[in-house]
Amino acid sequence: MTEVLLQATGLRLAFGGVKAADNIDLGVMKGEFLAIIGPNGAGKTTFINMSTGYLRPNAGEITYEGRRITGMSPRAIVKLGIARSFQLPQLFIEHTVEQNIALAVASRDGIWSPLAPLMRPRYRDEARDLLARFGLSAIADTRADALNEGARKLADIAMAVALKPRLLLMDEPTSGVAASEKMAIVETLVNVLRDAKVTAVFVEHDMDVVERFADRVAVWSQGRIAALGPPDQVLNDPAVLRDVIGIERHA
C-alpha cells in the first residue's frame, strides 16, 4: 500500500474565475480505494477529467507509474491502464448492454477487425461473465436506453472494468441509485474491483458508502484538499464536519 500509482503535483486549473484545482498535490496508492468528497463545484470531477486527458491543467503535472500523462489524449491514457466511469452514464444507447460491454472488451484488442463479428465467443463470454459478476445478467439483452438509472450506472462502470484497467476513476458511482439498493450495489462493485486488483478513486456524496468502503478520503473544497486520511479520522474531524459534510448533509 505504499507504492504510488498516480501522483498529481502542483495541479492548477481555473474556469473563468472559479478555481477547480488550486495547487493540488495528491497521490493514489497502489491497491487502495480513495474516496474524494466535497461540495458540488469544488473540482472533484475536474480531477478525474484531468487524470484521464479530457482536460489539461493550467499548471502542474500528473504522473502514472512514474510517467508523465498530462497532455496525453484520453485514448493514450486508457492504453496505459487508466479507465473511468461517468456521472452521467455514457452508454451506446442503441446497443444492448451486452454489446456495450463486448465492445469495451473488444477495444482492448483494438477494434480493427472488419469481418469477424463483435459477438464472437471470446468477447461475448467475457462480457457475459462480467455482467454476471455485476449481477446484470438479467438485462444483458436490454437496449441501453431502456435501463433504469441504477442499472445504467452499473453498466457504465462495467464498461470501464471491461477495459481491465489498473486504475479506475469513478465519478459518483452511486448517484441516482435508489437508497435501498445502494449498499448492495457498492458491495458488488467493491468485490469485483478487489478480485480484479484494481486501484480505485471515486467521487462520492454518500458518507455511509465512504465510511464503509474507502481506505482513504480526500476532502476537496474550493479547489484545494482540505483533509486527507483514513475515513474514521477525516470524517470525525470537526472542521471537515462543519465545512464539508455539514453542508452536504443538509443539502
Partner 1 sequence: MRRYEPILALVLAAAMITAAIMAPWLRFVLTIALAKGIAVVGILLLLRAGQVSFGHALYVAFGAYVVAFLAPRLNDAVLLLAAAAVGAGILGLLIGLFVTRYRQIFFGMLNLAMSMVFYSLLEKLYHITHGSDGIRVEVMPVAGQALDRVAYEWSIFGIALALAFTVGLLVRLYLSSPMGEALAGIKTRETRLEFMGVPARGVLLSAYVMSAMLGGIGGAIIAMTSRHVTPLLAYWTSSGELVFIAILGGAGGVLGPFLGAAAFELVRIYAAASFADAWQLILGSVLLLVILFAPGGLWGMAARLLGKGGTR
Partner 2 sequence: MAEWFQDNGLLLGLALLDGLSSAGLIFLVAVGLNLVFGVLRIINVAHGSLYAIGAYSAASIGIFLSGLGLPDWAAVPTLILSAALVGAILGPLIERFLLRRIYAQEEVVQLLVTFALFMILEDVQKLIWGVQPIHHDTAMRALGTIDVPFGADFIPFTNYQLFVLPGIAIVTLVGLALFLRRTLTGRVIVAVTTDREAASAMGIDAAKIFLLTFTFGAMLAALGGALSSPTAALVPGIGAQTIVLSFAVVATAGLGQIEGAALTSLMMGLGRSIAVYFEPELEVVVPYIIMVLVLLVRPQGLFGVIETRRV
Interaction residues for partner 1, span 30-89 (CB under 8 A): 52, 54, 73-75, 78-79, 83-84
- The residue (of 172 and 206) whose beta carbon lies closer to partner 1 is 172
> DSSP alpha helices (H): ranges in the chain?
44-51, 74-80, 97-107, 121-133, 149-162, 179-195, 207-213, 231-234, 238-240, 246-250
DSSP 242: I
- The three cell numbers of residue 128 are 457475459
- C-alpha 123/C-alpha 149 separation (Å) is 25
Phi (first) and psi of residue 200, to 5 degrees:
-135, 140
The tally of CA atoms less than 13 A away on the side-chain side of residue 23 is 1
- The residue (of 117 and 230) whose beta carbon lies closer to partner 1 is 117
Taking every pair of Cα atoms in the chain, the longest distance, rounded to a whole number of angstroms, is: 61
User: 49, 70, 96, 99: which one contacts partner 2 (CB under 8 A)?
Assistant: 49
Binding of residue 94 to partner 1 (CB under 8 A): yes
Cα separations in angstroms, 95 against 36, 75, 85, 141: 32, 22, 18, 9
Segment interacting with partner 1 (CB under 8 A) among 13-21, 62-70, 110-118, 206-214: 110-118
User: 14, 29, 55, 103: which one contacts partner 1 (CB under 8 A)?
Assistant: 103
87 binds, among partner 1, partner 2, none (CB under 5 to 8 A by kind): partner 2
User: 7, 23, 87, 107: which one contacts partner 2 (CB under 8 A)?
Assistant: 87
- The residue (of 43 and 231) whose beta carbon lies closer to partner 2 is 43
Binding of residue 178 to partner 2 (CB under 8 A): no
Per CB under 8 A, residues contacting partner 2 are: 49, 54, 86-88, 90
